Amino acid sequence: MSEEDIRGRILDAAEECFLEIGLSARIHRLIAERAAVSRPTVYKHVGDQQAILDALLHREVGRFLDIARPLLERPSPIREQLAEIVAFSVTYARHHPLLRKMLLEQPEVVLPRFTVDAGPLMRLAVDATAPALRRAFARAGATDVRIDVVVEWGVRLILSLITTPSLTTDLDDPVELRRYIDTLMRIGLIPLS
């Protein structure tokens, strides 16, 4: 069995364990049992709890980006495309079983990765989406736009809509969510003077 297969099996087991019981002091033992490997193998291939969570987050972001890629490549008006990407991202994340469980039961574990320790997540998002967004902005004739800033803004917006309740909008209603995002997008069209 390859290193990648072992790591994948460990991460699958970790996700199942986190969904069932959340984080616990004996999580490595449970992951090892479920993955049919030894505890030292879990540590060798993934690491401690923090490393396991980071590996799961990285894997899930990768899966999400694979699913979202058609939205990034769709040749539609840039404002519409950005609103669609944000709405899709928020909906995907708000309905992700493991993320929902962790935010409800152990927010202190997840929230730092979306706030003060969000640098790696933002870098991953910029690296994964910048080429497609650069092409989209070029099609719109906006070649002077800093794509990294646009992606960072989008990630910040998405993370806040995932982690913070709204006073004005049911963020779980796709129509209301899209209306909310469209309102935010229109702010950029308001004359500054």
Q: Which residue has the higher pLDDT, 190 or 61?
A: 61
Q: Which residue has the higher pLDDT, 188 or 118?
A: 118
Domain map (residue ranges) of the chain: 1-47, 53-187
Radius of gyration of the chain (CA): 19
Q: Write out pLDDT tens, residues 85-109.
A: 999 999 999 999 988 888 888 888 8
Q: Write out pLDDT tens, residues 139-185.
A: 888 888 899 998 899 999 999 999 998 899 999 999 999 999 999 88
pTM comes to 0.84
Asked if the domains 1-47 and 53-187 are classified in one and the same CATH topology, the answer is no
**In the predicted model, what is the mean pLDDT of the chain?**
88
Identify the CATH number of the domain defined by range 1-47.
1.10.10
The encoded tokens of residue 35 equal: 């993955």
The answer to whether 185 touches 79, Cβ cutoff 8 Å, is: yes
Return all residues near 112 (Cβ < 8 A) that are at least 6 apart. Answer: none
pLDDT in the model for residue 14: 92
75: left (phi over 0), alpha (psi -120 to 50) or beta: beta
User: Is the predicted pLDDT of residue 192 greater than 80, yes or no?
Assistant: no
The answer to whether 190 touches 163, Cβ cutoff 8 Å, is: no
> Which class is domain 53-187?
mainly alpha
In angstroms, rounded to a whole number, what is the distance separating the alpha carbons of residues 62 and 173?
25
